[in-house]
């Protein structure tokens, strides 16, 4: 649960920020926070029917945020949690039991027909599984989004990446909800980033220099700062009863030495300090300083900060509290998303939905399962996602504040959909063999909502003049329509010609879009059922109209 109350305590040093500040830079993402939020929208589906399309809404949520970053020219680096730390297992187990209970209660309540109450239970029951992370990883692979699975804590991995230069794979900031990043000494953190890219920023160096609201960390160094966090209580070590963030700050601020704080604390009769607290304290501090992380360059485990002699003493040679050492091959297989860090089994072997497509050489998959270094793994593993049919759940809206505020013209589409399309997939197809070639197109996961492509039109079939057309050859595609100007529409989201397609447009163009749609309303009875049920409504809050067209 991070450091209790730390975020509120540090509030004076946290300022509003927009993600566009990091345009052109690499930014790390704590995958867990977005996975968890995303799962909230489909907790019942995840509990009752994890294979369903609806249960994949958490992926849509995640990719929306990834796409938002890309839109602002920020390079996302997604970091997943790996194995849990030995010293944390008690809390983990406790949470697990509570979730299981909620799951049972949820299913029971659903049986009784009380859906609303059941959803409440499912929300409490939902947990992020390695399988869910793996599903996302496959999408990230197919989207060429950089990711890494930390050997243990994602927080430590993120803090490590933040120490590296960009050309060494480093990141300029971290997006997370977890206050532990502060304790890890991360240089720049963005908390509570919303769907428009607004968030709250914490800059460590600035904090260590500024005096604000009677708080000063000027005499603090990183070690004292992290010491203060540990003192206030963290996942690895609960605080001494009666010590919270404020008293932890006062103590460190007064003594300016961890040793002194601990010894005075022990003598203070108001507090009962456990006998082994001092020892545990230094070990915990060692975790924050020297946690095991994965080094992409050497493809092996490293320490967040190099181990110094003094810490070897504190640890008494017991490096396993940092999590067991892993062989480089194992560390790499975990980091690259081939090996489940909890069960240590290969993901591909566990995958339930191996594609039925016949031309796939399954022996190749088996080779991959040895988690070797096949370069083409991405392509093949993504095939395992071919399972569910397209559904409305896969239609995703792309929120862009600038469009909502009318700040930006949409003449370039505003959205970098082009980047989500495979090279070569955007050209207009004319081969008569295409219909029979459909199998080849399945190299792209069908339920990947971020890789929608225009399907070839049937041979010789003329396109309706009024139909919207998509120009996918553009770097940033826009939807074209004979009755609308080129800058009218931001994005088309479903491109299956038998499916409804959704788009967004600026408020000023709503009228013209609507007039075109009205013209065609007489034909509506000929349209697929899903389309007839759609209304073209303006979102009152965003001012964006979402419209549906047949392609």
Partner DNA sequence: GAACAATTCTCGT
Partner DNA sequence: GAATTGTTC
Q: Residue numbers of the site for DNA (CB under 7 A)?
A: 1-8, 32, 36-38, 40-41, 57, 60-61, 64, 123, 177-180, 191-192, 195, 233, 235, 239, 241-248, 397
CB of 223 to DNA, least distance (A): 21
CB of 241 to DNA, least distance (A): 4
Distances (CA, A) of 524 to 151, 467, 497, 527, 530: 54, 13, 15, 5, 11
Q: Which is nearer to DNA, 87 or 472 (CB)?
A: 87
Are the C-beta atoms of 488 and 513 separated by less than 8 Å?
Answer: yes
φ and ψ of 94, to 5 deg: -60, -45
Q: Which is nearer to DNA, 371 or 398 (CB)?
A: 398
Q: Which is nearer to DNA, 397 or 509 (CB)?
A: 397
Q: Which is nearer to DNA, 40 or 531 (CB)?
A: 40
CB of 369 to DNA, least distance (A): 30
CB of 84 to DNA, least distance (A): 9
CB of 15 to DNA, least distance (A): 14
Question: Which of 335, 340, 222 minimizes the C-alpha distance to 285?
Answer: 222
CB of 99 to DNA, least distance (A): 11
CB of 31 to DNA, least distance (A): 12
CB of 361 to DNA, least distance (A): 37
Q: Which is nearer to DNA, 383 or 502 (CB)?
A: 502
DSSP annotation of 410: -
Burial of residue 102 (number of CB atoms within 10 Å: 0-12, 13-18, 19+)? buried
Residue 438's contacts (CB-CB under 8 Å, 6 or more residues apart) are none
Per-residue b or e along 448-458, where b marks 16 or more CB atoms closer than 10 Å to that residue's CB = bbbbbbbbbee
Q: Which is nearer to DNA, 176 or 381 (CB)?
A: 176
CA–chain centroid gap for 239, Å, is 30
3-class DSSP assignment, residue 441:
helix
Question: Which of 82, 65, 195 minimizes the C-alpha distance to 143?
Answer: 65
CB of 542 to DNA, least distance (A): 9
Q: Which is nearer to DNA, 33 or 187 (CB)?
A: 33
Burial of residue 185 (number of CB atoms within 10 Å: 0-12, 13-18, 19+)? buried
Q: Which segments of 72-129 does DSSP mark as H helices, in order? A: 89-111, 115-125
Are the C-beta atoms of 389 and 54 separated by less than 8 Å?
Answer: no
Q: Which is nearer to DNA, 169 or 238 (CB)?
A: 238
What whole-number distance in Å separates Cα of residue 257 and Cα of residue 275? 20
In which residue are the tokens 């370039």 written?
Answer: 412
What whole-number distance in Å separates Cα of residue 551 and Cα of residue 469? 7
CB of 1 to DNA, least distance (A): 4
Distances (CA, A) of 504 to 219, 372, 403, 474: 52, 43, 9, 18
What whole-number distance in Å separates Cα of residue 1 and Cα of residue 254? 27
Q: Which is nearer to DNA, 291 or 368 (CB)?
A: 291
- Locate 412 and state its tokens: 């370039």
Q: Which is nearer to DNA, 143 or 180 (CB)?
A: 180
Task: Give the CA dihedral 498, 356, 139, 71, nearest 10 degrees.
Answer: -30
What whole-number distance in Å separates Cα of residue 206 and Cα of residue 188? 10
CB of 379 to DNA, least distance (A): 28
Q: Which is nearer to DNA, 197 or 456 (CB)?
A: 197
Q: Which is nearer to DNA, 248 or 368 (CB)?
A: 248
What is the side-by-side order of every strand in the sheet holding 479-480?
Answer: 469-470, 479-480, 489-492, 500-505, 545-550
Question: Which of 395, 398, 414 minimizes the C-alpha distance to 488?
Answer: 414
CB of 117 to DNA, least distance (A): 12
Answer left, alpha or beta for residue 337, where phi above 0 means left and psi between -120 and 50 means alpha: left
Q: Which is nearer to DNA, 224 or 243 (CB)?
A: 243
CB of 25 to DNA, least distance (A): 24
Strands 211-212 vs 198-203: parallel, antiparallel or unpaired: unpaired
CB of 37 to DNA, least distance (A): 4
Q: Which is nearer to DNA, 178 or 380 (CB)?
A: 178
Are the C-beta atoms of 29 and 146 separated by less than 8 Å?
Answer: no
């Amino acid at each position: 649960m991070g450091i209790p109350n730390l975020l509120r305590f540090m509030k004076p040093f946290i300022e509003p920020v927009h993600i566009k500040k990091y345009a052109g830079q690499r930014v790390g993402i704590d995958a867990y926070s977005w996975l968890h939020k995303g799962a909230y929208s489909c907790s019942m589906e995840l509990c009752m029917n994890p294979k369903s399309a609806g249960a994949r809404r958490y992926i849509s949520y995640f990719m929306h945020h990834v796409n938002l970053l890309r839109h602002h020219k920020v390079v996302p680096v997604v970091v997943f949690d790996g194995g849990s730390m030995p010293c944390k297992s008690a809390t983990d187990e406790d949470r697990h039991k509570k979730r299981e209970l909620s799951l049972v209660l949820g299913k029971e309540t659903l049986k009784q027909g009380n859906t609303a109450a059941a959803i409440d239970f499912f929300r409490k029951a939902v947990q992020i599984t390695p399988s869910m992370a793996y599903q996302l990883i496959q999408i990230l692979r197919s989207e060429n989004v950089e990711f890494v699975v930390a050997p243990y804590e994602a927080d430590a991995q993120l803090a490590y990446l933040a120490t590296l230069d960009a050309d060494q794979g480093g990141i300029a900031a971290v997006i997370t909800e977890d206050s532990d990043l502060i304790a890890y000494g991360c240089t720049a953190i963005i908390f509570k980033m919303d769907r428009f890219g607004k968030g709250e920023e914490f800059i460590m160096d600035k904090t260590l220099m500024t005096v604000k609201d009677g708080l000063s960390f000027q005499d603090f160094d990183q070690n004292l700062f992290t010491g203060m966090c540990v003192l206030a209580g963290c996942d690895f070590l609960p605080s001494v009863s009666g010590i919270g963030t404020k008293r932890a700050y006062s103590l460190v601020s007064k003594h300016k030495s961890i040793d002194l704080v601990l010894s005075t604390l022990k003598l203070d009769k108001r507090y009962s300090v456990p006998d082994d607290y001092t020892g545990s304290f230094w070990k915990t501090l060692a975790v924050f300083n020297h946690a095991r992380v994965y080094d992409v360059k050497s493809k092996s485990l490293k320490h967040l900060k190099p181990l110094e002699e003094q810490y070897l003493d504190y640890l008494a040679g017991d490096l396993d509290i940092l999590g067991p050492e892993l062989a480089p091959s194992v560390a790499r297989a975990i980091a690259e998303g081939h090996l489940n860090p909890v069960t240590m089994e290969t993901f591909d072997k566990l995958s339930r939905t191996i594609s039925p497509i016949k031309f796939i050489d399954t022996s190749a998959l088996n080779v991959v399962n040895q988690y070797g270094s096949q370069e083409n793994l991405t392509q093949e593993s993504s095939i395992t996602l071919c399972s569910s049919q397209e559904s409305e759940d896969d239609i995703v809206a792309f929120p862009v504040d600038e469009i909502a505020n009318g700040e930006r013209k949409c003449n370039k589409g505003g959205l970098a959909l082009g980047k989500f399309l495979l090279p070569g997939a955007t050209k207009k197809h004319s081969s008569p063999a295409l219909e029979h070639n459909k199998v080849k197109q399945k190299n792209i996961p069908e339920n990947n909502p971020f890789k929608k492509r225009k399907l070839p039109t049937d041979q010789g079939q003329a396109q309706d003049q009024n139909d919207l057309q998509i120009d996918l050859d553009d770097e940033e595609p826009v939807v074209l329509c004979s009755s609308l100007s080129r800058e009218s529409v931001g994005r088309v989201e479903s491109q299956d010609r038998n499916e409804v397609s959704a788009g967004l447009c600026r408020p000023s163009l709503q009228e013209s879009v609507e007039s075109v749609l009205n013209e065609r309303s007489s034909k509506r009875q000929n349209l697929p059922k899903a389309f007839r049920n759609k209304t073209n409504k303006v979102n009152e809050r965003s001012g964006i109209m979402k419209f549906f067209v047949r392609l």
